[in-house]
Amino acid sequence: MTAKDAETIGFYTDNAGAYTSRGQAPDRLHLEKFLARLPDGATILELGCGGGQDSEFMLAAGFDVRPTDGTPEIAKEAELRLGIPVATLLFEDIRDVAAYDGVWANACLLHVPRPSLPGIIGRIHTALKQGGVFYASFKAGEAEGRDAFGRYYNYPSKAWLEDLYRHFGWASLEIEARQGSGYDKLPTDWLHVTATKS
């Protein structure tokens, strides 16, 4: 979440209770693949944790997780669920250097305006330790826009993401296309990106 998009932040502020209490399950498929690449007890930064279901899964698996969200109201809801502090963190405020073995950003960087995304990914790259793993998922498309709730999406294509990520010299980059859904319950094409820092 970035500070510049008041409309998207406003949606999550106004709907924090409904958004976090809808019974969303953790993304086990991608979580298990992500965690398998990390050392036991690895330190993980979660961006845009939402209701906290993914952090809960990672904590239960024995990882050292720092959950964060860009909306204070959602961070408070996740904190109640997890029983640990959940920081309010906007993507542009990431300042860590070589602090994390992994960064998990499930369905959150998709709200970053396209011109801002290189800088945010650069901050994440810097925050990772050498060999660290970065996972992010995006709703696929060809042009940025807003959904029926007024939320901004960058809607990238696979080729657009490949070109963007290439600038950071990752040791490996994998982009997987899958069909899924979201808060609106509509069929959605997703792109799941996993990058490893060299």
Taking only the tens place, the pLDDT of each residue in 142-198 is 999 999 999 999 999 999 999 999 999 999 999 999 998 877 778 999 999 999 999
For the sheet containing 188-196, what is the strand order?
87-88, 64-69, 43-46, 100-105, 128-139, 188-196, 172-180
Contact 7, 150 (CB under 8 A): yes
Q: Which residues pair with 196 in a beta bridge?
A: 133, 172
The encoded tokens of residue 169 equal: 């010299």
- Each residue's pLDDT tens digit, 87-129: 999 999 999 999 999 999 999 999 999 999 999 999 999 999 9
**Mind giving me the DSSP string for 6-39?**
HHHHHHHHHTHHHHHTS-PPP-HHHHHHHHHTS-
Strand stretches in 70-166, DSSP E = 87-88, 100-105, 128-139, 145-146, 152-153
